[in-house]
Structure 1
Amino acid sequence: MGDFNAILSFADKQSPCTKGKRCSLFGGFVDSCELQDLVFSSLAFTWQRGGTFVRLDRALENDAWMTSFPQALVSHLPHVKSDHQPILLSTRPDLNMDKDKWTFASNIADSLNKFTTYVKDWNKDVYGFLGSHKRQLMRELNNIEKALERTDSSFLARKEMEVRDELKNVLNHEDLL
């Protein structure tokens, strides 16, 4: 999994100027090791500049790995601090962590609940709804990037920069916490 800076197929690149071409060395490596791309969700491309979109970042697997993790899924997240979109590998995307499954001694649970309530109230008073605002900005950025994959729009490009700047600001505030 990572940034390979190479494409495997014509579909890995969308550009008004040039067509995608398989990198023979990278393709040969993938073929000789009998690797395949993991299934991904969301955005098709992980790097962009201007009107050029390329899938440079990917996760590869072999049959043995896929047998061990049959539900594995790669998500392309919105890029924020880099020209590449981070990729997230979920080996069990269907797994939903149920908070009720975790049990504590009642006095510890009560103390944690009181502390959590206090911190949430403090966070709301000092920073607003930082987490929900971050999620909203990431959804908005993801939608803009999807739209930019389909059409070249200076309005969307400007909006993308505005949302990205606001998200960077939110992430910087989050780092302070």
Structure 2
Amino acid sequence: MDSVRGDWLSAQEVGVNGSRIVGFCGNSWRPARSRVLVEAVAADLLTQHALKTDILDLVDAGQGIAAFTRNGLDDRARDLVEAIEHADGLVIGCPVFQGSYPGLFKHVFDLIKPGVLRNRPVLLTAVGGGLRHSLVVEHQLRPLFGFFEACTVSTAIYASSDELASGGPLAPMIAARLANAVEQFAALVGDRRANAA
């Protein structure tokens, strides 16, 4: 992606169903398995609820995201942070490293203004090396967004790398959780849109 800003501004202009949904994947390379779940969520949101999701990766921010303060961000990094802040709903894709989310993923949220994500619908997904990492969603990601007072949907989606390695359809259990999470997320987005009207 040459310009996060260009894609994000066009998404704002389209405003499918009046909502701007951003998928943010905390991976620093492509292709990445953490993006697979976000893309699957985005496909369901579009087909089931006519909600378009613009997916951004950590790599889209470039090396400028490593700035110590928000004032030090370059344009690409600032665009990514602002896209997250202005979204009506977030779909998070997080790779699991060393039993936690990656440091640069967390750094992005260290740069987010406190309060800006209050009451924002958030759907959580994560991909790790095995089942031992599955509680990262509940013990690390959910508290992170709880700090921001965001509304995380009750169903989160976790998959191990092996489950996504084939490139085929999602396993039935993961697909069922994804469908449930999408329904919950779409309902929250609809409520937010109705309250804003």
Structure with the higher fraction of residues in helix conformation: 2
TM-score of Structure 1 vs Structure 2, range by shorter chain: 0.3 to 0.5
Q: Structure 1 length as normaliser, TM-score?
A: 0.33
Larger Rg: 1
Q: Structure 2 length as normaliser, TM-score?
A: 0.30
With CA pairs under 8 Å and 6+ residues apart, which has the higher RCO, 1 or 2?
2
